Chains A and B, each alone.
Chain A
Amino acid sequence: EPEVTQTPSHQVTQMGQEVILRCVPISNHLYFYWYRQILGQKVEFLVSFYNNEISEKSEIFDDQFSVERPDGSNFTLKIRSTKLEDSAMYFCASSGSGGNQPQHFGDGTRLSIL
């Protein structure tokens, strides 16, 4: 069964450094998402991406965050200057279409900011 893949599985970074989290969505999917989950808390939406542009973003997704689809397969989340509070699991998801279609999640990247 097709799946969403994420790399790396664990990223440890010094505060203030830039990180790039990578995702390969399911190949025929058109909608891409990033979520995060701080330990013990809810899964929170960060951003959705369709047709090479952001379709929606949350209040969390401020100027330090950016997303890109650099080629036909990868979807990346960049955090420009990391803060301690960015430590979380980051999940990439994709769906075949938007709206009511379920989203399929990757295994996540655990980001630890020191």
Chain B
Amino acid sequence: QKEVEQNSGPLSVPEGAIASLNCTYSDRGSQSFFWYRQYSGKSPELIMFIYSNGDKEDGRFTAQLNKASQYVSLLIRDSQPSDSATYLCATPYSSASKIIFGSGTRLSIRP
């Protein structure tokens, strides 16, 4: 059974700093990874996806994948109060099938 592990937090980061969110996964065969942002009471919102080892940047967000260490991370630069949310790491379980979600890391950006 594939698993995705995240530190539940809360992770508190001052406004303007870099927030670093981490995720480990159990199945070495996992190919792709998604980061979703979820505000309280709202639905998961896709913010990044990464398939290849290394870094992928999109605006203030950088996803990092290290398949050898089975480790995925999300960096948020210039953190804003609006970034305060729960961040979910996820990976597909199999083709045409479900996403396995981690339990999420709650991020709080303090002014």
Complex CA gap A104/B36 in Å reads 10
The closest CB in chain A to the CB of B91 belongs to: A100
- Is B98 at the interface (CB under 8 A from chain A)? yes
Given contacts A100-B51, A102-B34, contact A43 B44 (CB under 8 A): yes
Contact of A91 among B44, B92, B93, B94 (CB under 8 A): B44
| B-contacting residues, A7-54, CB 8 Å | 31, 33, 35, 42-45, 48, 50
Known: A99-B92, A100-B51, A102-B34. A56 touches B44 (CB 8 A): no
Other-chain contact of B31, A33, A48, A58, A100 (Cβ < 8 Å): A100
Q: CB distance B92 to A106 under 8 Å?
A: no
Task: Determine whether the beta carbon of B98 is less than 8 Å from that of A56.
Answer: yes
List of B residues within 8 angstroms of A44 by Cβ? 101
CA gap between A87 and B26 in the complex, in Å: 30
Q: Is A75 an interface residue (CB 8 A)?
A: no
Partner of A98, one of B34, B96, B100, B103: B96
Name the A residues within 8 Å of B34 (CB-CB). 102-103
Majority SS of interface residues in chain B? loop
Main secondary structure of the interface of A (DSSP, over half): strand
A106 & B97 in contact (Cβ 8 Å cutoff) = no
In the complex, residue of chain B having the shortest beta-carbon distance to the beta carbon of A47 = B98
CA separation between A29 and B73, bound complex, in Å? 28
Are B43's CB and A91's CB within 8 A?
Answer: yes
A42-B103, A43-B88 known; A98 vs B43 contact (CB < 8 Å)? no
**Quick check: is B99 within 8 A (CB to CB) of the other chain?**
yes
Residues 76-111 of B, flagged 1 when their CB comes within 8 A of A and 0 if not, give 000000000000100011111111111110000000
- Return 5 A-B CB contacts under 8 Å, by A number: A45-B93, A91-B43, A99-B92, A102-B34, A103-B46
Chain B residues packing against A (C-beta within 8 Å): 31-32, 34, 36, 41-46, 49, 51, 88, 92-104
